[in-house]
Structure 1
Amino acid sequence: MSDVVEGIGRSVPRTMDQLRQETRSVFASLLGTHREVALLDFPNHQNVGDAMIWRGELDHLGAIGVRVRYSSDVQRFSPTLLEKLVPEGPILLHGGGNFGDLWPQFQIFREQVVQRFPKRKIVQLPQSIEFRDEAAAARANQIFAQHPDFHLLVRDRRSYARARALLPDVQTSFCHDAALGWQPSTTSARGQGTLVLARRDHERGTGILPAVRAALGPQDVVADWGLRGLASVLWKVSRMPLGLARKFPGLGSSRSYYVLMRLAYAALNRLNLHDGQRLFNARTLIATDRLHAHVLALLLGKPHVVADNSYGKIAGVIEASTKDLGEFLFVNDENDAAAWLEARKSTPEQAERGRG
């Protein structure tokens, strides 16, 4: 594994376009002349961040002329159908923040895929790494190192250091978070108030709400990812083909039925992305402790306050990729996040300056 972590935390400011070009260069280098791939671990849950990563992965691949011929979520994966639709191309594993033992279902899946396809190139798209159990890390190192053509991409310096320490035999390289490849539609509507998008799961650190509570008023909203109202109904309807494939496994191996599954995946991804934009476009300012709420705020030009998660993945991506983009305050013990928000509430034109 190389000692050089090229591109992480460089002192030269970079634009969003430059980050995208750097990511596509990494993808193109790894995929070579292959033009058809499988992309596994579709995020079949109501999380805008994971949907942004998935969409960014598709957009990056499309930009370099690579077509995703087969995709699936963890529960409906069909090795048989993968072999039919992508008999020779590389297998890509969805990026994000679940490489390690915090989210074991996804780690187990990727380890099983790597063991099942020893003759295929397999690329783990950009991830953050967190292992709490040394035995789990040792097992992962053994499984991935035994594969002759497995490549791990990490999206921050800390994850690279963890890979060196815990996965010393695995080929590891840096690549920007794939969600930065997505370009959402923008709106001229001027939002009102502050959205506090706060984690509620076991990745939450000290949390964002205590840092900004003093600046919040009756017009401000505290929420987390998750569909509501009509969007929630449409989610259930869109998932119906996936439910049938889970109930009748033979459907998941059928070429013809896969057309319906692919449409379902696309619809679910759109619902998540649309809901994220709806939440953010309705507000002038954002406060969050979710990484991809920070990324979405940057993409939509929203000034925001961001606090870290439980193991530092947000600080890592900011250092590696986003520190020069947009207007935001990263919360630490020395910052007065509430005062930062108050100042921008009192001068709307200052908040608007971060847009676009």
Structure 2
Amino acid sequence: MSGLGRWAGNRRQLGEILGELIEPSTRCALLGFPYYANVGDSAIWLGARALLAELGAEVVYTADHHDFCPATLAKRLPSGTILLTGGGNLGDLWPSHQRMRERVIGAFPRHRIIQLPQSVHFGDPAGLERARAVFDAHPDLILLLRDEPSLRTARRAFRAPSALAPDCAFGMTGLPRLGQPERRILWLRRGDHESAAPGEPPPDAEVHRTDWTAQEGADASWTAETQTVRRRIEKASAEVGGKAGDRAAAELADAQDRHAELQLQRGCRLLGSASAVVTDRLHGHLLSLLLGLPHVVVDDRHGKISGYWHTWGHDRHRSVARRAPDAEEALRTAAALLTDPATPRPARSR
């Protein structure tokens, strides 16, 4: 695993913010495990887990948004702090995540609830009104937002205290080392409704187009271990509310962490398969930054990337990261980065 020393300030800031909100040895729950192929959400999960471990918080219940059970959470955590994982799903872009969030906040008014750093987008006024009614009714809800536009939205919309915080991926303690590149440029493009649909660039043999969800970066051993880990998750999830609750909860969290590690491993292998990256995914950008990979970003439909970029001053990383208005310009910029002798090159294993 490679060090993340150059990003120690982001990690320290995250730790200080959470340290002010969570007392040492606090019993807590962490909800919203990413039981799917989004590598960025796995990085967020691993960063949060690492930060909570360093704070000495005792995580007694974890769940994804499908398997969450209010009765089991109440049994596992009669009092304490509930943390909702960070990401880009606060709002109506991803309804199942928002439904779980509102369900938790509405069902647990006596617990402190901390929303870990999120981006916010509401396109439907009715959805915003429903969220406001739920959020404003909770007496101890705290919202962390990862970009200035989201912070402004939250402060206009909700009564809950809110603060700016870096993305939880910066809480990770290390990343897999990169192997040797197999191609010149990787075009990691969203295939969902958050894509700005900038148009496909002309065919180019030097450019490989894919997305996290294509499951590239996996090999036979990765697939076999992932299947084993998924069986562990399913078994422990079914047992966590029963007599073996403590054992099952620990096994579930351990298996979830390993699932996230495997997704991160696959994602870093995919990013590292190229000499440069073009992407409209926020964590395509953030992981490329952390890995030191030359890359160019094209904004998503709702400005999530540009909001984060401007909030945290990513213009100062122009030696390795650039922005472009569309895919064609991004690919030209990526090619120029690769021919510029001033462009830093990431450490790679041989």
TM range (shorter): 0.7 to 0.9
Residue in 2 that maps onto 1:177: 167
Residue by residue over 1:315-352, the C-alpha shift from the partner in whole angstroms, topping out at 9 and shown as x without a partner, is: 111112251346111113799323322223335x544x
Q: CA deviation at 1:77?
A: 1.9
Q: CA deviation at 1:201?
A: 0.4
Alignment of 1:159-178 (within 5 A): 159-165=150-156, 167-178=157-168
Q: CA deviation at 1:263?
A: 3.3
Between the aligned partners of 1:264 and 1:189, the Cα distance in structure 2 is: 26
Q: Alignment identity in percent?
A: 32
8 Å CA contact 1:205–1:310 kept in 2: the answer is yes
Residue in 1 that maps onto 2:209: 222
Q: CA deviation at 1:115?
A: 1.2
Residue in 1 that maps onto 2:269: 278
**Paired residue for 2:339, among 325, 341, 346?**
346
Residue by residue over 1:16-67, the C-alpha shift from the partner in whole angstroms, topping out at 9 and shown as x without a partner, is: 2111111111111111345332101101101100000001111222233323
Consecutive unaligned residues of structure 1, counting only runs of 5 or more, are 1-14
Q: CA deviation at 1:164?
A: 2.9
Quickly say closer, same or farther: Cα 1:335–1:199, change in 2 above 3 A.
Answer: closer
Q: CA deviation at 1:183?
A: 3.7
Residue in 1 that maps onto 2:321: 328
Between the aligned partners of 2:328 and 2:308, the Cα distance in structure 1 is: 19
1:154 aligns with 2:145: yes
Quickly say closer, same or farther: Cα 1:290–1:135, change in 2 above 3 A.
Answer: same
Q: CA deviation at 1:188?
A: 6.3
Residue in 2 that maps onto 1:93: 84
Quickly say closer, same or farther: Cα 1:88–1:253, change in 2 above 3 A.
Answer: same
1:55 aligns with 2:43: no
> Structure 2 counterpart of 1:253, which letter?
G
Residue by residue over 1:132-158, the C-alpha shift from the partner in whole angstroms, topping out at 9 and shown as x without a partner, is: 111110111111111100011111111
Question: SS at the partner of 2:118?
Answer: strand
**Paired residue for 1:41, among 19, 32, 40?**
32
Between the aligned partners of 2:273 and 2:250, the Cα distance in structure 1 is: 35
Q: CA deviation at 1:80?
A: 3.9
Q: CA deviation at 1:84?
A: 4.2
Quickly say closer, same or farther: Cα 1:300–1:35, change in 2 above 3 A.
Answer: same
Residue in 2 that maps onto 1:106: 97
**Alignment TM-score, normalising by the size of structure 1:** 0.85
1:17 aligns with 2:8: yes
Between the aligned partners of 1:272 and 1:53, the Cα distance in structure 2 is: 11
Q: CA deviation at 1:297?
A: 0.2
Quickly say closer, same or farther: Cα 1:170–1:188, change in 2 above 3 A.
Answer: closer
Residue in 2 that maps onto 1:9: none
Alignment of 1:261-276 (within 5 A): 261-276=252-267
**Paired residue for 2:65, among 74, 77, 82?**
74
Quickly say closer, same or farther: Cα 1:263–1:218, change in 2 above 3 A.
Answer: same
Residue by residue over 1:174-218, the C-alpha shift from the partner in whole angstroms, topping out at 9 and shown as x without a partner, is: 1111112224335364424111111000010134x64xx36x742
Question: SS at the partner of 2:56?
Answer: coil
8 Å CA contact 1:242–1:261 kept in 2: the answer is yes
8 Å CA contact 2:132–2:158 kept in 1: the answer is yes
1:310 aligns with 2:298: no
Q: Which runs of 4+ in 1 moved over 6 A?
A: none
Residue by residue over 1:88-137, the C-alpha shift from the partner in whole angstroms, topping out at 9 and shown as x without a partner, is: 32000001000011111111111111111111000000000011111110
> Structure 1 counterpart of 2:51, which letter?
H
Alignment of 1:117-136 (within 5 A): 117-136=108-127
Between the aligned partners of 1:187 and 1:244, the Cα distance in structure 2 is: 32
Question: SS at the partner of 1:253?
Answer: coil
Worse-superposed segment, 69-78 or 123-132: 69-78
Quickly say closer, same or farther: Cα 1:183–1:285, change in 2 above 3 A.
Answer: farther
Q: CA deviation at 1:170?
A: 2.7
Between the aligned partners of 2:14 and 2:106, the Cα distance in structure 1 is: 27
Question: SS at the partner of 1:87?
Answer: coil
8 Å CA contact 2:296–2:330 kept in 1: the answer is yes
**Alignment TM-score, normalising by the size of structure 2:** 0.86
Residue by residue over 1:288-325, the C-alpha shift from the partner in whole angstroms, topping out at 9 and shown as x without a partner, is: 00000100000100010001111011111111225134
Consecutive unaligned residues of structure 2, counting only runs of 5 or more, are 1-5
